[in-house]
Amino acid sequence: MATASTNLSHYDKNAIPNAKNFRFGIVVSEWNDSITCALLDGATSALIDCGALDSNIEIIKVPGSFELVYGSKKLQQRNVDAVIAIGSVIRGETEHFTFVCEAVSQGIKDLNILNDVPVIFCVLTDDNLQQAIDRSGGIHGNKGTEAAIAAIKMAAIKNS
């Protein structure tokens, strides 16, 4: 497991560009909202900790992870420096999990190829609820924090 020995919330603030002059868009799925709200909290806290202004963070909510691609595309059009797509898909008894995960990852990849605003993939694709809890503020830290740090670094690259 990739996160078994990694805390997703640890970062060296001195090694990250100051986010004061960057604008961020965050699109968050309402499905599995106990998980996605925790990821959103981790992302916004890290952005602000690294200098982002609260007024430079735009958040939109979409019904589920499948809709993250459309929400990300809309945010790319709103003069932001980076977008964070936050979702949580937990494996069930049908192939729905596979279809949603593949569509979202391919859609976000496509947005990164086609447009000049980076979209950070912060979609948990877990086998069970406990794994999602562990990665949204639990024993492995918060993937939202990790996504925010990636967004800051990508915004700096975009603007260099």
Give the residue numbers marked as catalytic: 96
Whether 155 and 116 have beta carbons less than 8 Å apart is answered as no
Helix%, strand%, coil% for the chain, nearest 5:
50, 20, 30
Q: Which residues contact 128 (CB under 8 A, 6 or more apart)?
A: 90, 91
Interatomic CA distance for residues 28 and 26, integer angstroms: 6
Backbone angles phi, psi at 124, to 5 degrees: -75, 130
